[in-house]
Amino acid sequence: MNSMSDLISRWTLALGLLTFLGFQTQAQMAPPQLFSEMDGLHFLEDGSAVPFWGYGWVADGFISLPGPLLEYAEGQEVNLAFTNPSPESHTIHLHGLDVDQANDGVPSTSFYVSTGESTDYEFTATHTGTYLYHCHVTTTLHLTMGMYGMILVTRPDGTLFEGGPAVTQNVPWLFSDLEVATNLDPVGSFPFHDMRPDVFMVNGKAGSQLAEEVVYASAEEPTALRLGSMAYSKITCHFPEGLNAELWMSDGREVPVEVLDSLEIYPGERFTVLVQPEVGYDGGVTAAFEHMVDGYEEAEEFLQIREESLHPSHVASLDEPTWYPNPASHNIQVTESTGRFVRVWTSVGELVFEGQVPASGLDVVSWNNGLYLAQVEGRDVTRFVVAHGIR
Amino acid sequence: MAQVDTLWIVPGGVSLGGDTLAALRFCSTEEFQPSNETIHGDWTSTVFVNLDSAAHSLMIDVEDWGPVTVLAGDTVAVAPGELGEATHRVWSASQRGKTLGLATLWRSGYDDHVHFEWNLNEWDPAATWTAASGEIVSEDDPYVPRQFTINDRNYPNTLLDSSSYVQTSVGVPVYISIVNQGRMDQVLHFHGYHVKVLQSSAHENRVGWTKDTVPVKQGECVVVELNPNQPGEYPVHAHNLVAVTNAGFYPGGMITYLNVAQ
């Protein structure tokens, strides 16, 4: 088993490569490019870290669990660029999008993306809805290690589908799970038939990590919950009466509208549920994770939903700070920081700056290449990359 | 598969993914065959000849239809009457029969397109030998199946079965009857296509839905229509990923393919 210091060392070593990828994107600019890596660290509710494999945007320079949300417009001709610098071959299976065989992401019928190779997945986003993507190489292992994400295909006018209801926002909830022992020792994880996940997540978070993930929903117009599962477990969502939950779509297709009090979601399924809570509603959705072999309920997660009038105005008025240019080589600026205290850490937690960012920005000439975490007072943590050599 | 009017209950053994299992099968002759024979037709009668050493309570999931017991060495006729256009599950309700996989489907109607039939099941090899020896396999014991099958074969041998491996052409619709004979719920993901749900005994509200990922609950019968709009070779597989392994190794288990010619 790898020690934490070994894992952090691997992570640090990987930063150089991620920085290189960031540099590549700076040169390319467009289109956005996904990459895969096998050296991520995912922090659990208790603060411990488990390794994961995953996808990330090259421009961001880091992988995430789950991978980035991919969003396309109905009818869009999509060219999804993907590069694989990781030590093993990977693919992207576009789950539910009914792409042609060459773009299906199944190695035996399409192709592998080997170490150091890049490719483009091409398809037309013909139907609005909720979809998934995941690696289809040794799927049992690569999926449980974290190589998955969600795709939304939406309409510019905010309607679910042609002639469908307009929604005020789309809220992706991607259910998944992992078995810590497998992620710590993926090579020794066989046989897979005794897989027993012990971490149960929504958008990569579990338990108290979800406490801050509050959805503020209008009482006047519906909010679309985009539900999908990449779990080994069966998920059952319970919708309290005050949410006025209705089922509208499944697997990227319209279904007869049903009022919901609960919904089972099997691995790979997707549903679009509209909620329109009563004024003053403060509750949420309970998601039960049930083992597929023996039916044992392993865990419950709670996803809080509040009616919009309860939304704290000081949070609603702020945009997230943005660091630019990113990657940076000499000087980096940040938005939304005037008069606010800022802290910057390396990816392994070493504090490298605290104070107010001067008008001229932060001088990063002497900083090492790599990923940095930054927090503007009162705001979420954001990230940027330092990569010397950028013009 | 050929329409039959007599099925023999025959004990034997099968090899699956490196394991050897004891088995009971509905066979079209007195000879043991590795896969259960299916039954077709409405208002038909099927004769069951029990060559096993134990009695079996034969069940069919038709409303108000009770079990029919066939003693060891005995013969019974089963006539469920009008079945209409539907696919039904037929199985031995005895603990021995369930553990050894004595289960098939009875399809009535859906004759206007080519029809493929998938019996899903999962297997704990040690439990099959316990049951074959006449001992009790308790359903309270830990259950860790290690083989997963379509028509009693696991991938890649599913591709050798003409009822598992779907072959059609663009614009030529086919039906697929799917019956879950195991103790677990399953969920099948279709690559490349959505299918229309025509029957779903555990999700009646889903009839008429168009899906690419279709749950098939324990004991459930599902019928879907696939009307391919593009050519290609695409997998269909369980997305409960423990079920795409053979003795723990991927790829295996409940995987088959759709082969759609231009």
Could you say which residues of chain A have pLDDT below 70?
1-31, 189-190, 313-320, 336-338, 378, 389-391
- Tokens coding A197: 């996940």
Going by their DSSP bridges, the two strands B6-16 and B19-27 should be labelled as: antiparallel
- Tokens coding A226: 């985009």
Q: Is the Cα dihedral A258, A260, A266, A270 positive or negative?
A: positive
Alpha-carbon span A259 to A187, nearest angstrom: 45
- Judge: B192–A99 Cβ closer than 8 Å, yes or no: yes
For Cα atoms B118, B120, B124, give the angle at the middle one, nearest 5 degrees: 150
| pLDDT, tens digit (0-9, with 9 covering 90-100), for B87-145 | 999 999 999 999 999 999 999 999 999 999 999 999 999 999 999 999 988 878 888 89
Helix, strand and coil content of chain A, in percent to the nearest 5, comes to: 15, 40, 45
Which among B191, B193, B248 is the nearest to A193, CB-wise?
B248
Query: What DSSP string describes A92-124?
Result: -EEETS---GGGS--TTTS--B-TTEEEEEEEE
- Tokens coding B27: 């066979």
A268: chain B residues, CB-CB within 8 Å: 187, 189, 213, 239
| pLDDT, tens digit (0-9, with 9 covering 90-100), for A124-146 | 999 999 999 999 999 999 999 99
A100: chain B residues, CB-CB within 8 Å: 192, 230, 232
Same domain, B179 and B240: yes
Which among A258, A292, A294 is the nearest to B240, CB-wise?
A292
What's the pLDDT score for residue A182?
Answer: 94
Alpha-carbon span A125 to B48, nearest angstrom: 52
Q: Is B210 on the interface with A (CB under 8 A)?
A: yes
- Judge: B213–A270 Cβ closer than 8 Å, yes or no: yes
Q: Domain A4-154 falls in which CATH fold?
A: Immunoglobulin-like (2.60.40)
| A288/chain B closest Cα distance in angstroms | 16
Domain count, chain B: 2
If 0-12 CB within 10 Å is exposed, 13-18 middle and 19+ buried, where does residue A78 land? buried
- Tokens coding B200: 């779903």
Helix, strand and coil content of chain B, in percent to the nearest 5, comes to: 10, 45, 45
Alpha-carbon span B147 to B157, nearest angstrom: 13
Q: Does B130 reside within a domain?
A: no
- Judge: A95–B187 Cβ closer than 8 Å, yes or no: no
Query: In what side-by-side order are the strands of the sheet with A170-178?
Result: A199-202, A170-178, A223-229, A270-275, A246-250, A253-259
% pLDDT > 70, chain B: 98
Distances (CA, A) of A174 to A27, A131, A166, A256, A259: 32, 10, 22, 23, 22
- Tokens coding A198: 């012990």
Q: Does B251 reside within a domain?
A: yes
Same domain, B103 and B193: no
Same domain, B247 and B165: yes
What's the pLDDT score for residue A385?
Answer: 83
Residue B66 sits in which domain range?
A: 6-113
For Cα atoms A250, A253, A255, give the angle at the middle one, nearest 5 degrees: 65
Same domain, B27 and B101: yes
Same domain, B105 and B151: no
Q: Does B252 reside within a domain?
A: yes
Nearest CA in chain A to B146: A193
Q: Is A255 on the interface with B (CB under 8 A)?
A: yes
Residue tagged 């609950």 (tokens): B217
Alpha-carbon span B236 to B254, nearest angstrom: 8
Q: Does B58 reside within a domain?
A: yes
Q: Is A231 on the interface with B (CB under 8 A)?
A: no
What's the pLDDT score for residue A5?
Answer: 43
Q: Where are the domains of chain A?
A: 4-154, 170-315, 318-386
Cβ–Cβ contacts within 10 Å for residue B165, how many?
16
Q: Does B189 reside within a domain?
A: yes
Burial B166-183 (b: 16+ CB within 10 A, else e): bebeeeeebbbbbbbbbb
Q: Does B52 reside within a domain?
A: yes
Which among A100, A143, A195 is the nearest to B232, CB-wise?
A100
Q: Does B125 reside within a domain?
A: no
Distances (CA, A) of B82 to B61, B86, B164: 13, 10, 27
CATH class for the region spanning A318-386: mainly beta
Predicted confidence band at B165 (pLDDT cuts at 50, 70, 90)?
A: very high
Q: Identify the domain boundary among B113, B138, B167.
A: B113
B233: chain A residues, CB-CB within 8 Å: 101, 109
- For an interface test with A, which of B180, B236, B240, B245 has the most A Cβ atoms less than 10 Å from its Cβ? B240
Cβ(B2)–Cβ(B28) below 8 Å: yes
Nearest CA in chain A to B188: A268
Q: Is B155 on the interface with A (CB under 8 A)?
A: no
Same domain, B109 and B165: no
- Judge: A251–B230 Cβ closer than 8 Å, yes or no: no
What's the pLDDT score for residue A320?
Answer: 67
% pLDDT > 90, chain B: 89
Q: Do domains A4-154 and A170-315 have the same CATH topology?
A: yes
What's the pLDDT score for residue A389?
Answer: 63
Q: Domain of B109: which CATH number? A: 2.60.40.420
Q: Domain A170-315 falls in which CATH fold?
A: Immunoglobulin-like (2.60.40)
Q: Does B131 reside within a domain?
A: no
| B39/chain A closest Cα distance in angstroms | 29
Task: Pick the closest to residue B123 from B239, B21, B230 (CA basis).
Answer: B21
Tell me which DSSP letter residue B37 carries.
Answer: P
Q: Identify the domain boundary among B70, B94, B113.
A: B113
| pLDDT, tens digit (0-9, with 9 covering 90-100), for B55-76 | 999 999 998 888 999 999 999 9
Q: Which residue has the higher pLDDT, B215 or B79?
A: B215
Alpha-carbon span A264 to A259, nearest angstrom: 14
Task: Pick the closest to residue A196 from A268, A66, A266, A291 (CA basis).
Answer: A291
| pLDDT, tens digit (0-9, with 9 covering 90-100), for A2-24 | 444 444 444 433 333 333 333 33
